[in-house]
Amino acid sequence: MLRINNIKIRKEVTRNELFDIAIKKHHIKKEDILEWHIARKSIDARKKDDVHYTYAINLVVKNENQYPALEKIKKFEMPNIQTNSHLTSRPIIVGAGPAGLFSALILVQNNIQPIIIEQGQPIENRSQSVHTFLTKGKLNPHSNVQFGEGGAGTFSDGKLTSGIHSPFCQKVLEEFVYFGAPEQVLYLSKPHIGTDKLIHIIKNMRDYIISKGGTFLFNTKVIDFGIKNQQIVNLQTMSNHEEKTINSNHVILAIGHSARDTFEKLYHKGLQMEAKNFSIGVRIEHLQNWINEAQYGTLTKLQLPPAEYKLSYHAPNGRCCYTFCMCPGGVVMASSSEPHTIVTNGMSNFLRDGQNANSAILVNVTPKDFPLNSPLAGIYFQQDLEEKAFSLGGSHYFAPVQRVEDFLNHQKSKQIGKVIPTYQPGFTLSNLHDILPDFVADTLKQGIEFFDTKLKNFAHPDSILTGLETRSSSPIKIMRKQNFMSNIEGIYPCGEGAGYAGGIMSAAVDGIKCAISLLENN
């Protein structure tokens, strides 16, 4: 396969027009081409008077040697997996987020039928529970934005970007397309699916896994782990007030970063774990047209998607302030998973056609910041802040919000300006300094002022801050060996909750790796 890189497009073109431009540039005969597809599409907006698309396309031609100037590339192929046919029990996957679903996918594609245990609901019912919380403030602690089929990433922007460079990223993208994602996720530089499409894709994945012999147990919570001679032998579950024991020597723990009671149970059962760094902060909202103008300028005639940004700042105090999970045209989501807490996240649908843009602005925290010396200390640090946010918001799941101008001046907001908060079920005008640790508030203030020098209107007086964002990543890491197993034989800590991923893509890749390890090493 050959690749044509750096195809610059400054006007709207059809797919066929793009193809003609590319082959003309390199004098490639159309009759020599057996097949082709878009490999990459990105926006170059570094010069506001020359905003353009940059494409790369892949070609299969009759004789590659006649085009020596073009880059030769190899098509991704999954490695051969040496499946152990002597498994004495069906593997269990705890959690049906990206890590769990992709673990299950690899297993059924290799003729192993897992049992997937999920404390939350199937995606159809889960969506209704989330809607009830947003409109009525009634929280289902077992099925919400954090828990349920699809995991926390379902009610986000559905970003498929990642800092990892694994060949399995291509496998993840191809599977998403197979189950219903738009083909463009295969080639966009910053692909996303959107919550509205993810809901249908996840159901399609579930149906496929079931068709291959997998079993889903929804509304079923793992309450204990049976361990004998440092080996997992069974799980105890609870469903509809009924306890059951499920025997298995192979358990993939894809429990997500909010499964606090499960973390505590695993700790007391002897799994080795440690507190890890994570980040906390707030969500910031701007008008999307401010971000579009700041990023694209006003001269381009291209029909560009809603603009994104990614910013970072290193403070004199040694802290890092950065934007995270930016959601163009999205909303700030109520993401609590425990009673009497406020947690925020960002969400966008596929079209990203909302009036506001939002992003987390986060500051790093380390175990040295926690009042306790325990692997679970980060959890308690998060909980304390989330409960304070609940109280500051009025103790009825309204989030505390503050205009940026007021935050910078350390005063409670008394009115809303041009940016209307999108958080549901409601908001309370507040002073976020009342609940943020001083080092976080001070670093956020410096970061916002710095970001304003990089992105026009970032510190616009009417931009809105909503508190708090505490679940950017897991506060713990469950230790695992080179074969992906914990110190307890047969338990595979997996994905974001175990501390090995940070988003849909990396969690899915880690799920693939854990499933392959289970297949090859047991």
Q: Residue 84: its pLDDT value, please? A: 63
Which region, left, alpha or beta, applies to residue 288 given φ > 0 means left and ψ of -120 to 50 means alpha?
A: alpha
Q: Residue 83: its pLDDT value, please? A: 73
pLDDT tens by residue, 370-400: 999 999 999 999 999 999 999 999 999 999 9
Q: Residue 188: its pLDDT value, please? A: 96
pLDDT tens by residue, 444-481: 999 999 999 999 999 999 999 999 999 999 999 999 99
405/36 Cα distance (integer angstroms): 52
Place 111 in a pLDDT band, splitting at 50, 70 and 90: very high
> Helix, strand or coil for residue 383?
helix
DSSP one-letter string for 255-281: --TT-HHHHHHHHHTT--EEE--EEEE
Residue 8 pairs in a beta bridge with: 54
Q: Residue 167: its pLDDT value, please? A: 87
347/356 Cα distance (integer angstroms): 11
Which percentage of the chain shows pLDDT scores above 90? 93
pLDDT tens by residue, 394-448: 999 999 999 999 999 999 999 999 999 999 999 999 999 999 999 999 999 999 9
Place 78 in a pLDDT band, splitting at 50, 70 and 90: confident
Question: pLDDT at residue 79 above 80?
Answer: no
Domains in the chain, please, with CATH?
A: 2-72 (3.30.70.2700), 92-274+481-521 (3.50.50.60), 278-469 (no CATH)
1/71 Cα distance (integer angstroms): 8
Give which of 11, 201, 209, 186 is closest to 93, Cα–Cα: 209
Cα of 3 vs its chain's centroid, Å: 30
Question: pLDDT at residue 85 above 70?
Answer: no
Mean pLDDT value of segment 312-321:
96
Model's pTM, two decimal places? 0.96
Three-state secondary structure string covering 37-92: EEEEEEEECCCCCCCEEEEEEEEEECCHHHCCCCEECCCCCCCCCCCCCCCCCCCE
> Helix, strand or coil for residue 99?
helix
Place 163 in a pLDDT band, splitting at 50, 70 and 90: confident
381/371 Cα distance (integer angstroms): 8
Q: What is the mean pLDDT of the chain?
A: 96
Question: pLDDT at residue 26 above 80?
Answer: yes
Q: Residue 219: its pLDDT value, please? A: 98
Give the chain's end-to-end CA distance (angstroms, integer). 37
Q: Residue 463: its pLDDT value, please? A: 98
Mean pLDDT value of segment 1-18:
94
Place 521 in a pLDDT band, splitting at 50, 70 and 90: confident
